Amino acid sequence: MKHVSVLLAETVEFLNVRPGGVYLDATLGGGGHTRKILETAADCSVIALDRDPQAIEIAKENLKEYENRVSFFNLNFRQMDEALAGRKINGALFDLGVSSFQLDDEKRGFSFRAAAPLDMRMGKDAKYDAGELVNELPQEDLENLIRSFGEENFAGRIARVIVETRKQKRIETTIELAETISKAVPSFYRHGKIHPATRTFQALRIAVNDELGALKEGLNKAAEALVLGGRMSVISFHSMEDRIVKEFFRGEAKLQPVTKKPVIPGDSETAENRRSRSAKLRAAEKV
Ligand SMILES: C[S@@+](CC[C@H](N)C(=O)[O-])C[C@H]1O[C@@H](n2cnc3c(N)ncnc32)[C@H](O)[C@@H]1O
């Protein structure tokens, strides 16, 4: 199991890492970006957050040699105040979404490639799991969720077939859900470029973890905590996240966008790391 950091050099470059600076890694994951920050300037330190306790354990192990320059917090970044405790930061980094550790861990239910309970919680702070949404939401709410968070054109058909199926028997596993979705969609979509369950799984993950709500709150709090001239780098992985970041950078008087257009990975990165294909990096400076 390995997580390959996306847009590693670019993201950290925008932060203008300086000796003695204090940086916030809001999404520690395996610690790849934090390591790059620590390597960039002597004596800088990182306040590192992840809502997933397992990510904290993995990153602590990966960053052993830097343990006196990193403080680890198992927190949702919307609660970053608890970690910052009034401290100002010279830069903040968000590398959104899930890590390869989470995707590849068959027990956690993020992927439809292996049978697992429909969980999808990144951390225990999530209010419900994916199984509860799939089996208990009224059809109309399920359809809206799949359409808005999955940008799925067949949301109506998928929600209808899920509700018909769960009347017979509760949908327990990722595979059962993926098969139900496959049955609901037209044949051309079933044999298309992406698995027909991809968008529905994305929608459920976003809803379970309230990813868009957390992002808005996290961006606000990070902008507040930055020193003047401090930078913020954000990597997003789908259009809804990118829109929130773009609008926040444009609308927030305290921030000046540094990237006119989002930075995207080059051909060699996308060839080596599939996960990087949808990545978009935006950076802004506090003014
Ligand atoms: C793409 S990975 C980060 C990878 C990391 N930059 C690296 O190079 O190894 C995203 C991480 O952010 C965490 N995460 C997502 N949303 C979060 C939130 N609202 N608060 C805290 N952590 C979050 C996930 O648990 C996951 O470990």
Domain termination site, one of 164, 192, 208: 208
Domain termination site, one of 162, 183, 208: 208
Q: What is the pLDDT of residues 198-210, one digit of tens each?
A: 999 999 999 999 9
Q: Is residue 115 part of a domain?
A: no
> Which H helix or E strand runs over 281?
strand 280-286
Q: How far apart are CA 14 and CA 58, in angstroms?
A: 26
- Label residue 274 by pLDDT band (50, 70, 90): confident
**CATH number of the domain that residue 94 is part of:** 3.40.50.150
Both 195 and 227 in one domain: the answer is no
Q: What is the pLDDT of residues 235-252, one digit of tens each?
A: 999 999 999 999 999 999
DSSP structure class, residue 44? -
Q: What is the mean pLDDT of residues 61-72?
A: 97
User: Where on the phi/psi map is residue 256: left (φ > 0), alpha (ψ -120 to 50), or beta?
Assistant: beta
Residue identifier of the C-alpha nearest atom 24 of ligand 1: 98
Question: Is ligand 1 within 6 A of the CB of residue 34?
Answer: no
Q: What distances in angstroms separate CA 211 from CA 5, 206, 247, one per listed residue?
A: 20, 5, 16
Q: Is residue 120 part of a domain?
A: no
Task: Say yes or no to pLDDT of 213 above 90.
Answer: yes
- As a whole number, the mean pLDDT across the chain is 96
Domain termination site, one of 148, 177, 208: 208
Domain with 151, as residue range(s), is 127-208
Task: Say yes or no to pLDDT of 1 above 80.
Answer: no
Question: Is ligand 1 within 6 A of the CB of residue 222?
Answer: no
Q: Which of 4, 27, 101 to mutate to test the pocket of ligand 1 (most atoms within 8 A of CB)?
A: 27
CA 172, 50, 127, 143: dihedral to nearest 10 degrees? -60
Both 220 and 156 in one domain: the answer is no
